[in-house]
Amino acid sequence: MTDETRKKTFLGFDFSTQRLKALVIGEDYGVLHEANVEFDSDLPEFRTAGGVLRGQQRGEVTAPPLLWVKALDMVMDMLVVAGVDFSTIEALSGAAQQHGSVWWSKDCESKLASLSPDEFLHTQLATAFVTNSPVWMDSSTTADCRALEEAVGGPEELARITGSTAYERFTGPQIRKMYRSRERAYRAAARISLVSSFACSLFLGRVAPIDYSDGSGMNLLDIHSKKWDEKALKACGDETLESKLGSPVPTASVLGTISPYFVQRYGFRPDCRVVAFTGDNNSALAGLRLRAGWVGLSLGTSDTLLCGLSRPAAPPAGHVLVGPTPAAPYMALLCFANGSLTRQNHRDRLAGPSWDAFNDLLRSTVRGNMGYMGIYLDTAEITPRVRAGRHEEDAAGRAGRAARLPGAAYEARALLEGQALGRRLHAADAGLALDSSSRVVATGGASVNKELLQIFADVFNTPVYVQNEHANAALLGAAIRAADVWSADTGIKLSGSEPSVSPVATPYPDHDQIYKPMMARYRQMIATFPKLE
């Protein structure tokens, strides 16, 4: 059997907050095998709740890196039991929860390079880490955020350089806190990885470099030069910090071949390629096959927008990251706290516990809602950072009591149009440029509601599609990236390289006439909302 005719499969991992998942896809990108380890229930000895440990200090949240190593041992054994033929895997890659940091001990490289195939990984790497890993849920670094912003010239300048103002969960402030409050642990660490590059290291047999895309979620990487920013490094550590982080690399990189440990223990091919791992949101953009000008819309408890960008911006809210694929050189990540839960609350209030009844209300109104607008924030909002509140405005721009909407149908449409207008406005502020080739790809529980998707199609003036593939875009994206980078590296085209999506909503032609004035009004409305401190 020649290399061209041999069966080819690709392996992806997702080291998320609560579980480790693995996925094998074929040349057509169809799912062949899956495995899943739940941290709390399958690894109770680590005593995690929701995959994390809460510290004595307020806001401190960590996870033991050895938990993730042992979970990998378990998920690999599950794949063995499932009958996976590892000799057919041409390449692997992975995704991981963003913003977590892993602090390696001085002898980590020698340990990774000399793993015995007769023993589990977790028994051999038990002393490879100097401390537990601060993760994205940690909010104990507010003082470090302000100090970092001040050191580089203010929050706007930090956003211009790194794509984000300082956030407590970001790795730069977390490193600064470690250097400030636990200097012995800081100095004991030979290398600092993100969770993604740590996971990649296990397969590579050496400490893997941080990729551009996940690295741009640290408040340390200059997203323009794709190098560490000197002022940010100096604010967060000492002169050794750059060597601890190593040099970042393009996300679409083959970092090498798989460690002999996996060849000898599981039967991988010695030439199986290891593609750089990245963050879960970045990987989801790859799983949705987004290009510049395309939008991934995840409609969940909160709503998340992933936007492919051709060039970066410095948004007042949200994040701009380096893109994980050549098709999207940059990406915007926008999270809206008021998503499906807010939609459901007002559905219950206006129509009872029935989406069909709610959609009947929508169908009794017209696009643009006769000028009536509403912004319903049942909880404090992230994008923009404003307090909870209910804001309504009539066609004449009158607010408060004078703007009381004339009936449940008007409120139903105001709710959804207000949400869609907000998503579009903040995406534009982050640099999204829509054109005739653009599309919105919707996922999440609410993506089954075609009335909602029609509103998004009209407001974005772009067709809306739903993905026909795996529901976990980050996990699928990891396997797809392994396949895509392998294909580009070898010049062998794979049959599944084109996305499988179905159009569900097409915009009406009078978008600009209706929604451009409403977008300007939306911007004026949110400018008056009470801000979060």
- The confidence score (pLDDT) of residue 396 equals 85
User: Which pLDDT band holds residue 447 (cuts at 50, 70, 90)?
Assistant: confident
Output the pLDDT for position 472. Answer: 83
3-state DSSP call for residue 463?
coil
H/E run at residue 320: strand 319-325
| Residue 87 tokens, joined | 């000799």
Is the pLDDT assigned to residue 404 strictly greater than 80? no
For range 206-212, the mean pLDDT = 98
Q: pLDDT tens, 299-329?
A: 988 899 999 999 998 878 889 999 999 999 9
Report whether pLDDT(4) > 80: no
Mean pLDDT, range 438-466, rounded to an integer: 93
How far apart are the C-alpha atoms of 269 and 266, rounded to whole Å? 9
Inter-residue contact 115 to 259 (CB < 8 Å): yes
Look at residue 277 in the predicted model and tell me its pLDDT.
Answer: 98
**What residues have CB less than 8 Å from 210, skipping those under 6 apart?**
193, 194, 196, 197, 245, 246, 248, 249
**Would you place residue 362 in the very low, low, confident or very high pLDDT band (cuts 50, 70, 90)?**
very high
List Cβ neighbours of 521 (8 Å cut-off, separation of 6 or more).
373, 393, 397
pTM value is 0.91
Report whether pLDDT(196) > 60.
Answer: yes
Q: Mean pLDDT in the chain?
A: 94
Predicted local confidence at residue 2, as pLDDT: 56
Which residue, 11, 32, 7, is CA-closest to 93?
11
Residues 6+ apart with CB under 8 A from 220: 162, 171, 172, 175, 228, 229, 232, 233, 236, 245
| pLDDT value for 55 | 87
**DSSP, res 300:** S
**Which pLDDT score, from 0 to 100, does residue 403 have?**
67
pLDDT tens-digit map of 52-78: 999 888 899 999 999 999 999 999 999
Write down the pLDDT at residue 444: 82
Would you state the pLDDT for residue 500?
Answer: 66
Which pLDDT does position 57 carry in this prediction? 82
Mean pLDDT of 227-240: 98
DSSP state of 294: -
Percent of the chain's residues with pLDDT above 90: 87
Q: What is the pLDDT of residue 305?
A: 95
pLDDT per residue over 371-401, tens digit each?
A: 999 999 999 998 998 999 999 998 888 887 7
Contact between residue 283 and residue 477 where contact means Cβ atoms under 8 Å apart: yes
**Among residues 21, 9, 488, 497, which one has the least CA distance to residue 250?**
488
Please state, in angstroms and rounded to a whole number, the distance separating the CA atoms of residues 206 and 170. 24
H-type helices in 205-299, by residue range?
A: 212-215, 230-236, 241-245, 260-266, 280-287
Of 12-26, 83-97, 303-317, the poorest mean pLDDT is in 303-317
pLDDT at res. 468:
64
d(CA 154, CA 165): 9
Q: Which helix (H) or strand (E) holds 96?
A: strand 89-96
The pLDDT value recorded for residue 433 is 93
pLDDT band at residue 471 using 50, 70 and 90 as cut-offs:
low
Q: Is the pLDDT of residue 95 over 90?
A: yes
Q: Determine if the peptide bond prior to 260 is cis (ω within 30°).
A: no
Q: Which of 155-164, 179-188, 215-224, 295-304 has the lowest mean pLDDT?
A: 295-304
| Mean pLDDT (whole number) for 456-464 | 96
- Would the pLDDT of 168 be above 60? yes
Q: Residues of the chain with pLDDT > 70: what percent?
A: 97
E strand map for 150-294: 191-194, 221-222, 227-228, 254-257, 273-275, 278-279
99-117 pLDDT, tens digit each = 999 999 999 999 999 999 9
Averaged pLDDT for residues 183-199 = 98
pLDDT score of 5: 66
